[in-house]
Structure 1
Amino acid sequence: MFEEFKKNMIKEFEMTDIGEMSYFLGVEVSQSEKGIFISQKKYAKEIIRKFNMNNCKLIATPVEVRVKLRRDSPGISIDPTLYKSLVGSLRYLTITRPDIVFAVGLGRRYMEEPRQEHFKVAKRILRYVRGSIDQGLFYTRCTDSRSVGYTDSDYGGDLDERKSTSGYMFNIGSAAFSWSSKKQSIVALSSCEAEYIAASACACQAI
C-alpha cells in the first residue's frame, strides 16, 4: 500500500524518493527493526554552545522542587531579547523532550521583563539537557496499541495570578505521543477544583 502511494505521488507531483527519513528540521529519526528513536541531540548541542553552557555543571532535574517565581522577582533585569531567544530555543526542544515541558512553560511566563532569577531557571534547564543529551522518544513495535493518559495539576502555582497549572501525557505503546503543561485559564478555588479542570482538559484531548 505504501509503495503504491509513493508511485501515485511521484506521478502527480515533481518529487524524489530519498529513502527513510533520518533528519528533519532539527529532529533526528533513527529507524531499526526494534523500533523508531526520535531525538534532537544535534539541536540540543547547538543551543548549549550558543548560550556558552558547554562547561556547565550537570544536574538531575530541569527545575527545583516547588520553585516559586514572581514577575517582580529580586535581581537585575535581563535583556529580553536574550531571554526570549533562550526560552524560544528550549520550546522547540520540547518536540521530543516532554520532561522539560513544565520547566520551559514556567520560564515562558516572564518573557517581557525577565529578571536574574528567571534567567537562572532557564539556564538550569540547559544544564539538565546537557546531562541528558541522549534522551528522546523510542517507539517500539507492539501489539498493545491502547492509549493511556496521565494528568495532574498544582494549586495556585502562579503567584502573580494565583492560577494553577494543568498537565497531561498520553502514551501509545512504549512512548509518549501527546503532552502538555499549561497554566489554567481561570482561578481555581480549591486544589480539588484545579484537579477537575486538569482532568477535563485531559479528557478532551483523549477524545
Structure 2
Amino acid sequence: MDEFNMTDLGKMRYFLGIEVMQNADGIFICQRKYVVELIERFGMQNYNSVCNPIVPGQQVGRDEAGVKVDSTLYKKMVGSLMYLIATRPDLMFVVSLISRFMANPTELHFTTAKRIMRYLKGNSGIWDMIST
C-alpha cells in the first residue's frame, strides 16, 4: 500500500465461480451456486433426485449400436461436470468415465450424464465443503 494505490476488499468470497468461506477452523470451498445454475441451464429442475451418480454395476462402454445424441450438448454437460470435480471428489470416477465418449455420445452416455445431474440435485450438501 506504500508503493501502490490499493483498496482492501476484505476476505475473498468468490473465485472463478467457487465460493470461499474463511473462518477460524480453516478455508472452505464449495460450488453450491454453480450446481443450482447447472441444473437450471440443462433444464433439470423437475427431474427426481437419485442417491448414486451411476447405477451400481452399470457398464458404460462405446455402445456403437446405440442411438447418437447431440454431441455439442453432451460436451457442454460433461465439461460443466468436469469443473465440479475440484470440490466434488465423489464425481471424479463417473465424470472421467463419461468423458471418454465425447466424440460419439449415445443415449446410454447422455442418460448417464443426466443421472449425475440428478445426483447433484439431491446431494448438494454432502461433498460441497472441502477444507483447504
Task: Work out whether the TM-score is over 0.5.
Answer: yes
CA distance in 2, matches of 1:73, 1:130: 30
Aligned residues: 131
Residue 137 of structure 1 is matched in structure 2 by 129
Counterpart residue number, 2:69 = 78
Gap change, CA 1:111 and 1:16, over 3 Å in 2:
same
Mapping of residues 1-207 of structure 1, within 5 Å:
10-11=1-2, 15-134=6-125, 135-139=127-131
Q: Secondary structure at the match of 1:30?
A: strand
Change (3 A) 1:81 1:37: same
Between 1:116-125 and 1:67-76, the stretch displaced more is 67-76
Structure 2 CA distance for partners of 1:31 and 1:113, relative to 1, 3 Å: same
CA-based RMSD of the aligned residues comes to 1.8
Extract structure 1 runs of 4+ deviating beyond 6 A: none
Q: Classify the secondary structure of the residue corresponding to 2:101.
A: coil
* Separation of aligned partners in 2, 1:13 and 1:65: 57
Which consecutive residues of structure 1, in runs of 5 or more, have no partner in the other structure? 1-9, 140-176, 178-207
Task: Give deviations 1:79-133, integer Å, cap 9, x for gaps.
Answer: 1100000000000011100110111001100001100000001111101111111
Pair 1:114–1:12, CA change in 2 (3 A):
farther
Structure with the greater relative contact order (CA < 8 A, sep ≥ 6): 1 or 2?
A: 2
Task: Structure 2: state its 5+ residue gaps.
Answer: none
Q: Distance in 1 between matches of 2:6 and 2:95?
A: 38
TM-score by length of 1: 0.58
User: Following TM superposition, by how much is the alpha carbon of 1:55 offset from its aligned partner in structure 2, in angstroms?
Assistant: 1.4
Task: Report the residue type matching 1:120 in the other structure.
Answer: T
User: Larger strand proportion, structure 1 or 2?
Assistant: 1
